[in-house]
């Protein structure tokens, strides 16, 4: 059977970067390149129920192999596993050159494509847990795409294992690969009835042991500022510079609510895209709070900033648009304790020393849980997502695979 490392190295070389603001799903046609490959590979390992739709969602199913005389026959719920094919718009995913470091022995990792890009041991506490591991990085000129091609590789290895190991008893094993997760649109056209799972798990996490049952609740905010452009030589009392208004707005966002000054359960307001000319400027903000009610407070905060700035630029038109993204999955997952108990036990059995940690971000599972499909998140060994210093431990990835194999068997045991 093909190893996770081999699959990961193949998948990360396929550019699947998604794009903010696109009016199509997927947001980039190139995401089909990986999705279609996955369909082909699933069929090659013997999975018969495989499909891909016009929006780049891949669905597959491996039927239960529980014998009729087994106490759990007919009562094990269908359990699904989900990963996303796209990579972040923040850093290029084109021409990825993965670097494999065998038997990592500690210290900083200087990346060969740009020696100014260094994975610092002091900034990466997880490296101390990976002494002796095989680590994959980029060459320093692109992101790696472990987020979430490590998750894809893990699911594919598990699928191949189940097709070849008839001694591993499991219920219906459902697979889904989604587009556009990185731009908050991963579940936009997700067909839960077609998927067919009662419970699901995303493999979109970090180092072993970390399990996730809660995420931020998230909205995005867009401020549109309309000014008036004219030649600067004749601009007096005529020009209205929308860029200056944008600067005044950004300067008034609270510095103690920035991503770079917050951690754990602290919320943040994050201006992450600024596009502007004198005549028109757009600022895109991320609102994040584990308490969904906090999103309304962040909206009011931004509205008050606009009220302060508007008189400073009376001829500018300043408009605020709020877009709902996803919600904290904690409440609905707590209503389904078995999906969490099985995951915890599977991680323990794999030797991962599990603990629950809130995600300062979101997964497809956030929205799927809200849509009625309880979907906590499992580690896949990655770190430093969305950056040129992204890396993944293959030993940790293999532990994620072991955890999933434990998980499907535990569901059988719990259903007797």
Q: Residue 181's domain is classified under what CATH number?
A: 3.40.630.10
pLDDT in tens, 361-375: 888 999 999 999 999
Mean model confidence pLDDT for the chain: 96
Which of left, alpha, beta for 372 (phi over 0: left; psi -120 to 50: alpha)? left
Find the range with the poorest average confidence among 15-19, 107-111, 217-221, 325-329.
Answer: 325-329
Query: Is residue 325 scored above 70 in pLDDT?
Result: yes
Residues 247 and 206 in one domain: no
Q: Considering the candidates 41, 86, 180, 289, report the single residue annotated as catalytic.
A: 86
pLDDT in tens, 95-139: 999 999 999 999 999 999 999 999 999 999 999 999 999 999 999
Number of domains the chain contains: 2
At which of 325, 346, 369 does a domain end?
A: 325
Residues 27 and 151 in one domain: yes
Residues 21 and 53 in one domain: yes
Strand extents, DSSP E, 217-359: 217-226, 268-276, 280-289, 317-326, 355-356
Residues 57 and 181 in one domain: yes
State yes or no: is 69 an active-site residue.
no
359 DSSP β-pair partners:
215
How far apart, in whole angstroms, are the C-alpha atoms of residue 343 and residue 409?
Answer: 11
State yes or no: is 86 an active-site residue.
yes
> How buried is residue 205: exposed, middle or buried, by Cβ count under 10 Å (0-12/13-18/19+)?
buried
At which of 325, 342, 376 does a domain end?
A: 325
Q: What are phi and psi of 254, to 5 degrees?
A: -65, 125
How far apart, in whole angstroms, are the C-alpha atoms of residue 19 and residue 25?
Answer: 10
Handedness of CA 176, 95, 132, 213 (dihedral sign): negative
At which of 325, 357, 389 does a domain end?
A: 325
Residues 207 and 222 in one domain: no
Residues 235 and 301 in one domain: yes
CATH code, 241 = 3.30.70.360
At 331, the pLDDT band (50, 70, 90 cuts) reads confident
Residues 209 and 345 in one domain: yes
Residues 61 and 206 in one domain: yes
Tokens 């409440």 found at: 331
How far apart, in whole angstroms, are the C-alpha atoms of residue 37 and residue 39?
Answer: 5
Query: Is residue 63 scored above 90 in pLDDT?
Result: yes
**3-state class of 100 per DSSP?**
strand
**3-state class of 274 per DSSP?**
strand
C-alpha angle 203-208-213 in degrees, rounded to nearest 5: 55
Residue 310 tokens read as 């508007």
Please state the separation of Cα 401 from the chain's center in Å: 18
The domain containing residue 182 runs over which residues? 4-214+328-414
pLDDT for position 356:
96
Which of left, alpha, beta for 411 (phi over 0: left; psi -120 to 50: alpha)? alpha
Residues 120 and 145 in one domain: yes
Residues 252 and 377 in one domain: no
Residues 197 and 258 in one domain: no
Q: Considering the candidates 181, 182, 390, 402, report the single residue annotated as catalytic.
A: 181
Query: Is residue 1 scored above 80 in pLDDT?
Result: no
Helix residue ranges per DSSP H, 13-79: 31-44
Q: Cβ neighbours of residue 45 under 8 Å, at least 6 residues apart? A: 159, 160, 163, 164
How far apart, in whole angstroms, are the C-alpha atoms of residue 410 and residue 282?
Answer: 50
Residues 194 and 221 in one domain: no
């Amino acid at each position: 059977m093909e190893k996770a490392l081999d699959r990961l190295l193949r998948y990360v070389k396929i550019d699947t970067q998604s794009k903010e603001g696109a009016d199509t799903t997927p947001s980039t046609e190139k995401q089909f390149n990986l999705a279609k490959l996955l369909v082909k590979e699933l069929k090659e390992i013997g999975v018969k129920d495989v499909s891909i739709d016009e929006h780049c969602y891949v669905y597959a199913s491996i039927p239960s192999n529980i014998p009729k005389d087994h106490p759990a026959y007919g009562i094990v719920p269908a359990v699904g596993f989900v990963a996303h094919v796209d990579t972040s718009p923040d850093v290029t995913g084109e021409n990825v050159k993965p670097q494999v470091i065998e038997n990592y022995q500690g210290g900083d990792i200087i990346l060969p494509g740009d020696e100014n890009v260094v994975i610092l041991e002091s900034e990466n506490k997880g490296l101390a847990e990976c002494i002796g591991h095989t680590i994959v990085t980029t060459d320093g000129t692109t992101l790696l795409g472990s987020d979430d091609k490590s998750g894809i590789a893990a699911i594919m290895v598990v699928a191949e294992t189940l097709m070849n190991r008839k001694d591993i008893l499991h219920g219906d094993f459902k697979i889904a690969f989604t587009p556009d997760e990185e731009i908050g649109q991963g579940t936009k056209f997700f067909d839960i009835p077609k998927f067919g799972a009662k419970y699901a798990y995303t493999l979109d996490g970090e180092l072993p042991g970390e399990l996730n049952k809660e995420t931020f609740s998230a909205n995005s905010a867009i401020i549109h500022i309309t000014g008036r452009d004219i030649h600067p030589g004749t601009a007096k009392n005529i020009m209205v510079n929308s860029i200056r208004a944008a600067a005044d707005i950004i300067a008034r966002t609270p510095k103690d609510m920035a991503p770079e000054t917050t951690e754990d359960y602290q919320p943040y307001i994050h201006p992450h895209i600024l596009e502007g000319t004198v005549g028109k400027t757009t600022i895109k903000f991320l609102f994040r709070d584990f308490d969904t009610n906090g999103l309304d407070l962040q909206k009011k905060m931004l509205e008050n900033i606009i009220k302060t700035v508007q008189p400073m630029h009376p001829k500018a038109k300043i408009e605020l648009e709020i877009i709902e993204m996803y919600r904290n999955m904690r409440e609905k997952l707590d209503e389904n304790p078995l999906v969490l108990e099985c995951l915890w036990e599977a991680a323990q059995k794999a030797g991962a020393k599990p603990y629950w940690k809130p995600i300062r971000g979101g997964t497809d599972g956030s929205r799927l849980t809200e849509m009625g499909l309880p979907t906590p998140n499992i580690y896949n060994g990655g770190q430093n997502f969305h950056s040129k210093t992204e890396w993944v431990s293959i030993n940790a990835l293999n532990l994620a695979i072991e955890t999933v194999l434990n998980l499907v068997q535990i569901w059988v045991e719990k259903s007797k």
